[in-house]
Structure 1
Amino acid sequence: MEYTQLGRTGLTVSRLVLGTMNFGPATSEPDSFAIMDSAIDSGINFFDTANRYGSPRPGHTEQIVGRWLKKSGRRDEVVLATKVYGQMADHPNGKGVSAKAIRTAVEASLRRLDTDYIDLYQMHHIDRSVPWDELWQAMDQLITAGKILYVGSSNFAGWNIAQACEVARHRNSVGLVSEQSKYSLLTRDIELEVLPAAQAYGVGVISWSPLEGGLLAGAVAKAKEGRRAQQRNQDRYPALKAQLTKWEKLCDELGKNPGDVALAWQLTRPGVTGPIIGPRTMAQLDGARKALKIRLSKDTLARIDEIFPGPGNQAPEAYAW
């Protein structure tokens, strides 16, 4: 396993992040336990979940993770990340990141996860209705109480990261240490401002949907299998077929699985702590781990950019001068 520091912190995390969103809805509890056992045994110590995961039973995924933590006895080995923001109760303060919503949500997550503390507590989305001072006061109280150790964000724009970090700095708070953003070869928007902002503030970037719902994991060869069969991916596939055909040809030349190469590409990106892998099966976990052994040459990276051109630079050079 390869390790790095999470942003500017001293926290050591694996470069592959185990996403648990499938635990419950798509993967049974025994199979989820087996995947977590295998992940931690192979050195993957960074587990990501959220209070909303488990649909149609929000909170179910945290409960599965919590039961595994108790059964395995390996809580201290795990860097445990969860999220707050989503609707968890049918009343006005049942969602968001107001001080009241945060207090209620963190206590509920701690119960479901059966733990005394959360390593990384992430805001699942920007909440424009909440003043930054209120947010940081609530988070700082949780840190002081020992209920969380670090604060992260998810789905923040670059200027949201700057806002959050500057207000935290004025309050002498640690502030954000991570940002979880959608990032893949097909979705490279964060290269414009999110990645530069994160790097400037020492915020580690965790990428979600690095395989773009399976489209980058062999959609041409297996267009009707797994998540690729979802309607939204089927709707996108015709317009992407030529591009994905070139991608899979390149991966064939490398002798590697397309999904593994897509993850390996993530590991080359400046500022990226690691991609989230969300295995439904043990076979998918085994495949994802192969990405750590893939080394992409400069020529290969250039060919990948030709197939999936990103913005070309950060803003404003990407569109101005």
Structure 2
Amino acid sequence: MEHRTLGRSGCAVSSLTLGTMTFGHETDEAGAHAQLDAFLAAGGTLIDTADVYTRGASETIIGRWLARQPAEVRDRVVLATKGRFPMGDAPNDVGLSRRHLSAALDASLRRLQVDHVDLYQVHAWDPLTPLEETWAFLDDAVRAGKVHYLGLSNYAGWQVQKVADLAAHRGLARPVTLQPQYNLLVREIEWEIVPACAENGLGLLPWSPLGGGWLTGKYKRDQRPEGATRLGEDPERGVEAYDRRSTAQRTWDVIDAVESVATDRGVSMAQVALAWLHDRPQVTSVILGARTLEQLEDNLGAAGLHLTADETAALDAASDPAPADYPYGGPGVEQRTRLLP
């Protein structure tokens, strides 16, 4: 397993991350602990969770696993969690206010059975709470030793820049990472969000690297999902998104390109999609979210897999979102890329 620094911090993390959103919901505790064991055995170190994942169950499962590990294992783990979304029904049980985040962070530490987390991330933008209030609390949490580093999740480019400017202007702890959705089918973050992160030294921790399973090849053209897929087991779940994606020619162009590389390499389609993302600019670590140990073990096969320039170019061409007009397409491309004479 390769290691990289967590954004511009000095903290080294594995270039693949174990995501734990399935823990306590699609993956029971025994299965979750098996995934954690396998991930550490493969050389992984960064474990990502959130308080809202199964209303605290994911953190609780991780906490029980951590509690039975020897000190040398616990010391290798780089632990990340998030706060922002509802954890109760009261008006202050949600958001990025000092009141909610203070309670949310303390509750996460209790469930995880630790006195600090390495990376604490705000799970999404909060339009109701002044940014100054949120970031003052987060800076206090760093100074109190409850948090080592700060991160963002699901922020737009202008929001990333606003946080970076505020932290720099007021001398507060700066964010080191952003967690966005990013994969061969979702590349629009490259237009503004990735440049904003590059400008401010934030590493990317992409979630949904396999596009909800599309990039594994489990969905077929002109064939409704069935069987052991999330949509096959629950046909009403995400049917609109499925129909929208399945009718787009670009979807099948990308899948065909991934399959071609995978066949030539003798590896799985998932490993090809992960390898492509693993080596994108600004990516620190790719978050693997598996329901089963078998899925995780296949995903871990992407560790150390690097595509050739020709393979990468073929995937880039097939997955190019090709914005139609200004500011991202048309003359906007030239303005972003052309050097002054």
Q: 1:104 to 1:269 in 2, by over 3 A?
A: same
Q: Residues of 1 paired with 2:191 and 2:80: CA distance? A: 26
| 1:155 maps to amino acid | N
* Structure-1 separation of matches of 2:181 and 2:298: 21
Code of the residue aligned with 1:174 in structure 2: it is A
Does the Cα contact within 8 Å between 2:64 and 2:112 map onto a contact in 1?
yes
Question: Does residue 20 of structure 2 align to residue 20 of structure 1?
Answer: yes
Q: Look up the match of 1:285.
A: 296
CA distance in 2, matches of 1:300, 1:206: 23
Worse-matched range after superposition: 290-299 or 18-27: 290-299
Further displaced range: 296-305 or 94-103: 296-305
Answer with 211-220 or 80-89: which moved more: 211-220
Match of 2:59 in 1: 62
Distance 1:234 1:135, change over 3 A: closer
Aligned pairs for 1:142-221 within 5 A: 142-220=141-219
Q: Relative to 1, partners in 2 of residues 1:185 and 1:278: Cα closer, same or farther, differing over 3 Å?
A: same
2:247 to 230, 239, 263: 239
Q: Is the 8 A contact 1:209 1:276 kept in 2?
A: yes
Q: How does 1:117-136 map to 2 (within 5 A)?
A: 117-136=116-135
Match of 2:229 in 1: 226
Tell me the alpha carbon deviations over residues 106-141 of structure 1, each in whole angstroms, 9 at most, x when there is no partner. 111111111100111100000121112111110111
Tell me the residue number matched to 2:310: 299
CA deviation map 1:175-227 (0-9, x unaligned):
11100000010000110011111011001111000101100011346953333
- Name the amino acid aligned to 2:146: K
Q: Tell me the distance in 2 between the aligned counterparts of 1:291 and 1:228.
A: 25
**1:253 is paired with a residue of what secondary structure?**
helix
CA separation in 2, counterparts of 1:66 and 1:214? 28
Q: What's the TM-score, normalizing by structure 2?
A: 0.88
Which deviates more, 109-118 or 227-236? Answer: 227-236
Q: Which residue of 2 aligns with 1:71?
A: 68
List structure 1 runs of 4+ shifted beyond 6 angstroms: none
TM-score when normalising by structure 1? 0.93
RMSD over aligned Cα atoms: 1.9
Alignment of 1:236-275 (within 5 A): 236=244, 238-240=246-248, 242-243=252-253, 244-275=255-286
In the alignment, is residue 276 of structure 1 matched against residue 275 of structure 2?
no
Aligned AA (1:171): R
Aligned counterparts of 1:94 and 1:310: Cα–Cα separation in 2? 38
Matches within 5 A, 1:28-107: 28-54=28-54, 58-73=55-70, 74-107=73-106
How many residue pairs match? The answer is: 316
Distance 2:328 2:214 in 1: 29
